[in-house]
Amino acid sequence: MPTSFTVVPVEAQGEERQPAERDGQRQEEEEEGEEEDDERDRGSGDGVARESSPFINSAEMDRGNIYEGKNMALFEEEMDSNPMVSSLLNKLANYTNLTQGVVEHEADEDSKRKEVKVPRMGTFIGVYLPCLQNILGVILFLRLTWIVGTAGVLESFIIVFMCCACTMLTAISMSAIATNGVVPAGGSYYMISRSLGPEFGGAVGLCFYLGTTFAGAMYILGTIEILLTYISPSAAIFKAEEVGEETEAMLNNMRVYGTCIIILMAIVVFVGVKYVNKLALVFLACVILSIIAIYAGVIKTAFDPPDFPICLLGNRTLSKRSFDVCAKFTESNNETKTTALWRLFCDSSFLNATCDDYFSLNNVTEIQGIPGIMSGVLADNLWSAYSEKGSIVEKKDQPSVAGSEDTKMGGLPYVFTDIMTYFTMLVGIYFPSVTGIMAGSNRSGDLKDAQKSIPTGTILAISTTSFIYLSCIVLFGACIEGVILRDKFGEAVDGNLVVGTLAWPSPWVIVIGSFFSTCGAGLQSLTGAPRLLQAIARDGIVPFLQVFGHGKANGEPTWALLLTAGICEIGILIASLDSVAPILSMFFLMCYMFVNLACAVQTLLRTPNWRPRFKYYHWTLSFLGMSLCLALMFICSWYYALIAMLIAGCIYKYIEYRGAEKEWGDGIRGLSLNAARYALLRVEDGPPHTKNWRPQLLVLLNLDSEQLVKHPRLLSFTSQLKAGKGLTIVGSVLQGIYLDKCTEAQKAEENIKALMGVEKTKGFCQIVVSPHFRDGISYLIQSAGLGGMKHNTVLMAWPQSWKQTENRFSWKNFVDTVRETTAAQQALLVAKNIDLFPTNQERFTEGNIDVWWIVHDGGMLMLLPFLLRQHKVWRKCKMRIFTVAQMDDNSIQMKKDLQMFLYHLRLNAEVEVVEMFENDISAFTYEKTLMMEQRSQMLKQMQLSKNEREREAQLIHDRNTASHSAPAVKASVAAAVPEKVQMTWTKEKFVAEKHKNKDSNVSGFKDIFNMKPNQSNVRRMHTAVKLNGVVLNKSQHAQLVLLNMPGPPKNRKGDENYMEFLEVLTEGLDRVLLVRGSGREVITIYS
C-alpha cells in the first residue's frame, strides 16, 4: 500500500540570522580560510585524495550552503568529496542529456542569447522513422525483384529471413546495452567501446565508420544508376561504340558522375548539415509513398493488371530498346513487310535474306510481364534460376528449338545477365538493405526517454521492414513474370524500372521516389560517418587519428569529412553496386557481431553494473545473433570476411600497443578478471610439476632518497632471464609509517613502473611501507603474489657497501633475507657487481657463461644459463660447467657421468672437472681470518666516531686487498705466530687511541692483539680462498659466473664473517650470480 510521509525541516541554531548577515560572515570566513579550503580540496581529513564524483562538479558547489546547518557536523570532513544526498538528487533531477552533435553557424551565433531547450523527441519521430528511412532504401527498389527472380521465392525468403533475424537479434542485444544507463550521443561506437573496451571499441568503431562510408558510395551509385538508366539515358557521357562494351561504358559513367556528386554532397554537408536534417522527412516521405504505390499496384493487378508486354523469341527474352513491334514481319494491304526485329537477326530486310538459325527455327511470341496476383505465376517463380555471366534470360516451360552453336550472340537483342549469380553472392548484395538499425541509438542524445524509445522504436522498425521485405518477395513472385524479375535493368519492358512496372498509378512514382530517397541516404551517410570518426578521434584511443578530431570553430568535422569523401571515392571507382554491397555488408556484420558479443559477455559475467531496463534479452539470443553474423560474413564472401577481420585485428593490436590507456569498466576487463580468477583457483590445486617449473621472480629493489631505482640493471637482468614468461613481482620497501609515506609510495611505484616499461619487464609492482626495513622485506617474501601465482625465487643485488659503518644494518638485512628465503623454501639469486651487467640493447658476440657446480641444489644452476641464452643478449655465449673433484673422487668418471647427465637434460655445454686437493692452510688464509675477526671485535669494543670508524674500515679493506695481491707463503698452522703478523694498527696509533679513551676498554684492546682466530673460521676462509683461486684461473674472463651460494651460519654471531667469506669467494670476478636452491628439483631428464 502507498505510504504518505511529510518532510519536516529541522532548523539549526543561528538559522534566524538575516541572509545578508550570513552572507557577509560567510565571505569573511572564506577569505580567512583559503588555506583550509585548499587543504580540503586536495583530500579529506585522512590525507587521502578522493575520486571525483561522476555526477557533481564539486568545484561549483556552494560550500556555504553545506556548512550552514550544523546538524551534519559529524560529516564535515566528507562534505567536500562526498556530497549530501539532497544535493546529489537535485543535480540528477536537473540532468539533461544534450546532443553532442555539431552546432551550426546560426545556432553558434545565437547560443549566448538562446536558452538550451531540453530535447523532446519521442519514440515515433526519434527512433522509428529514422530507422525506417535507413533500412528501406536502394536495394529494395533496384535489386529485390532481381534477387527474387534469380533465387526464387523460397530461397529469397530464406535470404531475407536470415538477414532480418540477424538484425532483430542484434537489436535485442543493442536494446539491452542501450538501456543499461545513459547512452550519450555516439550510438553503436559508444556502446561497443564502453562494453568491450577501447581495443574492440576502436576496431569495431572504425569498421562501422568504413561501413557507413561505403554505404554512402552505394547510395550514390544507386542514384546514378536510376538517373542514367531510368530517368535520362541520354545523359551518359560514355557511349558503347562496339557490341559488348555497354557494361564498361556504364561503369565509366558511374565513376565520372559519382565523383561529381560526391564533391557536390561534401560541399552541401560542409556548408550546412541542418538543410540535410530538414530534408530528411521529405526523403522519408518519398520512401513511404513508393512502398504504398507498390502495394496499391499489387492490389490493382488482382482485377486490372497493367499492360507490359514482353517479346520472346522461342524461350529467350528480347530487349525492346532496339525495336518496337514484336513480330518477324507484318501484313498491310496484302503485303508482307519485315520488321526492325527481322533486320536485327537477318542480313537484309528481304524475306529471302539469310537469318540467324535460332531466329529462323523459333517463333516470336508476346506475353504479359505483369500477369497479376491471381494468375498463378507464383508456382513458376518458386525455384531458383542461377546463371553464368553473359547468359540469356530464358522463360521456363516455353517451347524452343535449339539452333547452331556457332552463332555469335553479341550483336543480337537478347537480355543478358551481367554477372554470375549464386546464393551466397545474393546474400552479400541483399544484406545492406537491412542495415540502418543503429539510427535510433545514434540519436540517443535527442530523445526524451532513450531507455524506453530505443528498444521500442528499433524493434518496431525492424518488424515493419521485415514484413515489407518478406511480403514484397511473395508479392513480386506472385505478380511479375520470371523473365522480368531476372531482367535487372528492365530492358524487356522498354527500360522501365522493374518494380516500377508494378506500381500504381505510374512507374514514375517509384523512379522519382527512389531517386530522392537514395540521394538523401547518401547525404546522411556523408553526414554521420565524419561525426563517428570525430568521436573515435576525440576519445584518443587511436593516436594517428588525432587530427580528425579537429574541425571548424563550431565543431564541424572538416578533416573527417575530407577523409570520408576520399574513402567514398574508392567505392565510386569500383563503380558496380553489386561489388560495393558485399564490402559494406562485411563491416556492418562485424559491427553487429560485436554488439551481440558485448551483450553476451556482460550477461554471462553478471557484473554489478549490468542492470538493463530492457528485460527481454538472454545470452543465448546474443550468442545466436553473433554466430549468425559470423556465418553471414563467410556466406557473403569468405575473402572479404577475412580481409575485414584482418583490418579489425590490425586496428585492435595497434590500439593495444600504441593507443592511450583507457579504463571504461568494460566487459573484456571483467572477462579477464574472471578468467584470471578461474586460472588462479586451478593453479591453487598444488605445486607445479618439475617440467613446468620456471623461476617466478620477486625482484627486491633499493630506492634512493628521490624514490628512484638504484640499480636499474637488475630489471634488465630480470627481463633477460624471464623473456616475458611466468610471473615477475618487482618489490621495494620504504621505511616509515604508511600514513606519512603514502605519497612517496605512489611516487616510487610510478617510477618503478616507468622503469619496467623502459626495460620491457612484464610484471607487477608492489611497494611495502614498514617501520623497519628488515620487516618490510620479510612481508614481501611472505605475502607477495596471490594464491598459486606466488614467487618461488628471490632476486636481489649484492650490498656493495656492507662494510661502511653508515650501512651497518645492510649486511644484517641481507643475511636475514637469505635465511628467510631458505625458511620459505624459495630459491635465491644474488647478482654481484650488478651495475656491470649488460643492458637489453647490448649483445655479447662471444664469451662463456660459466657454471661452478659445487653442491646439487635441485638443478637451478643448469636451468638459469639455458633461460638466459634464450635472450638476444646472451644467445651467442657458450655454456661451460665446472665441478670440483675431491681427493677420493675419480675425476675421469665424474666427467663422463656429468656429460651423460647433460645429454639427458638436452643441454649443450662443455664439461670440466677441477681437482682441488687438501693441502695446508696458508699463512695468508690464517692472516686474513685473523684480521676479519680483529676488525669485528674492534668495531664492537671501540667507541669510535663515525668518521674514525669509516677510516678504520677502509684501512682494513686496503690491507686485505694488498695482502691478497702479494704472493702467499705456505706454512703450517703451528708455525704461524700471531704476534708477528703485520696489522693495520700501528703502535703510534694505538698509543694515541689509548690516551684518547682512558676507560675500561684498554683491557679489551689487549685481548684483541693477543687473540687467536677461530679454527672453524680458518677452515671456511681456506675454502673461500682456494675456490676463488680456482675460479679466477678458469673463469676470470667469462661473461657471467654462476656459483653455489653457501648458507649462512646457524650461529648468528658469525653473520659478519659470512659476508667476508662471500666477498673473498667472488673477489676478482666481474659478473657473478650467486645461486641458492629452494630444496626441490627444478629440472628433469624425463619427457
Model pLDDT for residues 59-104, shown as the tens digit of each residue? 444 444 444 444 555 555 555 556 656 565 555 454 333 333 433 3
With CA atoms as reference, report the closest residue to 1053 among 937, 927, 929.
937
Q: Strands, DSSP E only, in 369-507?
A: none
Q: What distance in Å separates the CA atoms of residue 727 and residue 763, rounded to the nearest whole number?
A: 6
Cα 946 to Cα 523, 804, 807, 958, distances in angstroms: 84, 10, 11, 19
Of 9-18, 666-675, 957-966, where does the model show the most confidence?
Answer: 666-675
Element containing residue 976 per DSSP (H, E): none
pLDDT, tens digit, for every residue of 248-284?
Answer: 888 899 999 999 999 999 998 888 777 777 777 888 8
Nine-digit cell string for 129 = 522513422
Looking at per-residue pLDDT, the higher value among 394 and 114 belongs to 394
Half-sphere exposure of 692 (CA within 13 A, CB side): 7
Q: Which three cell numbers stand for residue 639?
A: 575473402
φ, ψ dihedrals at 581, nearest 5° = -55, -45
Helix 187-196 to helix 144-178 angle, to the nearest 10 degrees?
Answer: 50
pLDDT score at 284? 85
Position 945 confidence tier, pLDDT thresholds 50, 70, 90 = very low
Q: How far apart are CA 390 and CA 387, in angstroms?
A: 9
- Who has greater pLDDT, 135 or 689? 135
pLDDT tens-digit map of 484-493: 999 888 888 8
- Hey, what's the cell of 689? 610439476
What pLDDT, on a 0 to 100 scale, did the predictor assign at position 935?
Answer: 56
Give the pLDDT confidence score for residue 959 in this predicted structure: 60
Q: How confident is the model at residue 786 (pLDDT cuts 50, 70, 90)?
A: confident
Least confident interval from 497-501, 809-813, 953-957: 953-957
Q: Which tens digit of pLDDT belongs to each residue from 316-364?
A: 889 887 788 888 888 877 788 888 888 888 888 888 888 888 888 888 9
Mean pLDDT of the chain: 77
Q: What is the pLDDT of residues 980-996, one digit of tens each?
A: 333 344 455 545 555 55
DSSP secondary structure string for all residues of 246-281:
HHHHHHHHHHHHHHHHHHHHHHHHHH-HHHHHHHHH
432 and 139 Cβ atoms separated by less than 8 Å: yes
Q: What is the pTM of this model?
A: 0.68
Per-residue pLDDT reduced to its tens digit, 641-659? 999 889 888 888 888 777 5
Q: Rounded CA gap, 637 and 425, in Å?
A: 7
Per-residue confidence (pLDDT) for residue 584, from 0 to 100: 87
Q: What is the pLDDT of residue 244?
A: 65
Candidates 846, 783, 855; CA nearest to 1079 is: 855
1002's CB contacts (< 8 A; 6+ apart) are 994
Out of 312-321, 440-449, 528-537, 1025-1034, which region has the weakest mean confidence (pLDDT)? 440-449
| The predicted structure's pLDDT at residue 404 | 66
pLDDT above 90 (res 637):
no
Inter-CA distances, 763 with 200, 687, 718, 733, Å: 24, 21, 10, 17
Lowest mean pLDDT among 482-486, 525-529, 849-853, 935-939: 935-939
Residue 723: per-residue pLDDT: 61
Indicate the helix (H) or strand (E) that contains 366. strand 364-368
Asked if 459 and 239 count as a contact pair (C-beta separation under 8 A), the reply is no
880 beta partners: 850, 910
Alpha helices, DSSP H, located in 179-245: 187-196, 198-226
Contact 996, 817 (CB under 8 A): no
User: What would the mean pLDDT of 723-739 be, rounded to a whole number?
Assistant: 85
pLDDT (average), residues 1035-1044: 88
Of residues 272 and 828, the one with the higher pLDDT is 828
pLDDT in tens, 671-704: 777 777 777 777 765 666 666 677 889 999 988 8
The helices-and-strands tally (H runs, E runs) of the chain is: 38, 15
- Does 1081 or 611 have the greater pLDDT score? 611
Task: Please state which of the ranges 108-112, 197-201, 240-244, 952-956 shows the lowest mean pLDDT.
Answer: 108-112
Please check the confidence at residue 437 and state whether its pLDDT lies above 70: yes
| Res 968: pLDDT | 39
pLDDT tens readout for residues 1053-1080: 767 778 878 888 888 888 899 988 877 7
CB atoms within 10 A of CB 929: 28
Question: Between 19 and 1017, where is the model more confident?
Answer: 1017
Q: Which three cell numbers stand for residue 875?
A: 644467445
pLDDT value at 1010 more than 80:
no
pLDDT band at 967 (very low <50, low <70, confident <90, very high): very low
Write down the pLDDT at residue 8.
Answer: 45
Neighbours of 1086 (CB within 10 A): 6
Q: Which DSSP letter does residue 121 get?
A: B
Decide: 84 and 72 in contact? Cβ < 8 Å: yes
Residue 143 in this model has a pLDDT that exceeds 60: yes
pLDDT of residue 978: 39
pLDDT for 976 equals 37
pLDDT in tens, 536-573: 888 888 888 888 887 776 667 888 999 999 999 999 99
